[in-house]
Amino acid sequence: MIVVLHRSAASEDVAAVADRVAALGMMAHVINGTERTVVAATGSEDEAHRETLASMAQVESVMPILAPYKVASLEAKPEPTQVVTGSLTIGGGVCGVIAGPCSVESEEQIMTSARAVKAAGATALRGGAFKPRTSPYAFQGMKEEGLKLLAAARDETGLAIVTEVMTPTDVELVGDYADVLQIGARNMQNYRLLEACGESPAAVLLKRGMSSTMDEFLLAAEYVLSRGNERVMLCERGVRTFESHTRFTLPLATVPYLHARTHLPIVIDPSHGTGVASLVPPMMNAAIACGADGLIVEVHPDPPNAASDGPQSLTPDAFAKAMIACGKVADAVGLTMDTTNV
């Protein structure tokens, strides 16, 4: 249920309501909106609890949250969430671009990539150090060595770092280096991992499972939010269909659909969504045209020799051209492309 406080409520009033919610055996999530503060109470939806909370002097009204996802829902927070971490801002009318190679491969590769994507206007660097690969014989990533190279790239360029974490036990390690923990499509329903990321101070980029429904996606985000991490971005990266001309099928209707249900920012990944480099720039434009809050794009200095996902990786030149086009689309639809070079 959502406990709406009076506009005049002070921080002690919010604390008193949150304490009462906890005393009733529910979890309290304080959501500070621009207009007013609400406390989302999750757990048992007991009618008696509702009345107890409604009778508190600081409380204006108590309403049930109808959506199965509670803290993620627009009912709990009608205004969009803007996620800010280091150089990256995504959401609330600002479109940010995360770019870089699929995997961190060497110091030279990640530094060249970081400089190139920054010059083209990206505000965060991606690069996998722990790679979830279909085959156990494929390159598995540079692990902590890769994280150190990402941190060095941040030191030089100022770009925020987005990198994948695959297991709950690695959340602390990856969080020591990364600004954003990426939860991969194959792990969207790894509930222990979601909970561990929910307890991390780092922001989270949650990718949609390749055969997950929207409700499953939002409930996965709810796992992270329910542990207190408010900085969650949702990423549509394509789903499995009968189609074989692309690697996955990229449903852009996800963007307006989710905007009507959640305040969380929506990021589109046209690289995994298509698997084909030539299809990436048009889908970057299309994603912005339908209101995406951000993009995550694979860019590699030498795609034919990439250790992973070369066929879908843009060259630095192709990425720079695509970014110019995206800026024009953003202007046309009233979004601000955040290309502030940090």
Angle, nearest 10°, between helix axes 316-333 and 280-289? 20
Q: Should residue 98 be labelled a site residue for ligand PEP when binding is judged by CB under 6 A?
A: no
Q: Which of residues 309-328 bind Mn ion (CB under 5 A)?
A: 309
Options 17-25, 181-189, 196-204, 314-322: segment touching ligand PEP (CB under 6 A): 181-189
Task: Give Rg (Cα) of the chain.
Answer: 20
Considering only 2, 26, 102, 104, the residue that binds ligand PEP (CB under 6 A) is: 102
Q: Should residue 300 be labelled a site residue for ligand PEP when binding is judged by CB under 6 A?
A: no
Q: Is the dihedral of CA 181, 146, 287, 239 positive or negative?
A: negative
Q: Are 188 and 217 in contact (CB under 8 A)?
A: yes
Options 48-56, 107-115, 182-190, 225-233: segment touching ligand PEP (CB under 6 A): 182-190
* CB closer to ligand PEP, 102 vs 225: 102
What distance in Å separates the CA atoms of residue 297 and residue 122, rounded to the nearest whole number?
9
Structure-token match 């048009």, residue found: 282
What distance in Å separates the CA atoms of residue 296 and residue 162, rounded to the nearest whole number?
10
* CB closer to ligand PEP, 29 vs 130: 130
Q: Should residue 211 be labelled a site residue for ligand PEP when binding is judged by CB under 6 A?
A: no
Q: Should residue 184 be labelled a site residue for ligand PEP when binding is judged by CB under 6 A?
A: yes
Min separation Cβ 105 and Mn ion, Å: 12
Structure-token match 């020799």, residue found: 305
Closest by CA position to 63, among listed 169, 324, 73: 73
In a 13 Å sphere around the CA of 120, the CA atoms on its Cβ side amount to: 28
Q: Should residue 264 be labelled a site residue for Mn ion when binding is judged by CB under 5 A?
A: no
Q: First and final CA of the chain: distance in angstroms?
A: 41
184 binds, among Mn ion, ligand PEP, none (CB under 5 to 8 A by kind): ligand PEP
Q: Should residue 118 be labelled a site residue for ligand PEP when binding is judged by CB under 6 A?
A: no
Per-residue x/- track, 86-115, Mn ion (CB under 5 A): ----------------x-------------
Min separation Cβ 119 and ligand PEP, Å: 22
Considering only 132, 172, 241, 305, the residue that binds ligand PEP (CB under 6 A) is: 132
Considering only 70, 118, 231, 237, the residue that binds ligand PEP (CB under 6 A) is: 237
Pairing of strands 94-100, 124-126: parallel
* CB closer to Mn ion, 91 vs 146: 146
Which residues have a Cβ under 8 Å from the Cβ of 285 and sit 6 or more positions away? Answer: 322, 325, 326, 329
- Distances from the Cα of 80 to the Cα of 52, 119, 146, 176, 261, angstroms: 30, 29, 34, 28, 11
Q: Which of residues 24-83 bind ligand PEP (CB under 6 A)?
A: none
What distance in Å separates the CA atoms of residue 82 and residue 250, rounded to the nearest whole number?
24
* CB closer to ligand PEP, 237 vs 259: 237
Backbone phi, psi, residue 108, to 5°: -65, -45
Considering only 96, 100, 128, 198, the residue that binds ligand PEP (CB under 6 A) is: 128
Per-residue x/- track, 248-287, ligand PEP (CB under 6 A): ------------------------x---------------
- Distances from the Cα of 265 to the Cα of 77, 96, 241, 261, 274, angstroms: 13, 10, 25, 11, 21
* CB closer to ligand PEP, 184 vs 265: 184
The residues binding ligand PEP (CB under 6 A) are 102, 128, 132, 184-186, 207, 237, 272
The residues binding Mn ion (CB under 5 A) are 102, 309
